[in-house]
């Protein structure tokens, strides 16, 4: 929930919201595939912002 909160501003965001937020933050034209890649990028982004 903390990652979702950091990335989307909403702790109960669904997977597609997180994927779209990651793509937007990284200026990507497409959502990262596979889904686990988007999750890993979300963790990295949130970690960089929270430290």
pLDDT at residue 20 above 90? Answer: yes
Residue with tokens 């990262």: 32
Residues 23/30, Cβ–Cβ less than 8 Å: yes
Residue 37 banded pLDDT, cuts 50, 70, 90: very high
Residue 49 banded pLDDT, cuts 50, 70, 90: confident
Residues 8/16, Cβ–Cβ less than 8 Å: no
Residue 10 banded pLDDT, cuts 50, 70, 90: very high
pLDDT for position 8: 93
Domain count, the chain: 1
Quote the tokens at residue 36. Answer: 């686990």
35-50 helix and 15-25 helix, angle to the nearest 10 degrees: 60
In terms of residue numbers, what domain contains 7? 2-50
pLDDT at residue 7 above 90? Answer: yes
Q: What is the pTM of this model?
A: 0.86
């Amino acid at each position: 929930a903390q990652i979702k909160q950091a990335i989307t501003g909403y702790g109960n965001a669904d997977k597609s919201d997180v994927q779209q937020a990651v793509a937007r933050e990284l200026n990507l034209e497409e959502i990262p595939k596979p889904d686990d890649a988007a999750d890993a990028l979300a963790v990295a982004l949130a970690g960089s912002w929270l430290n």
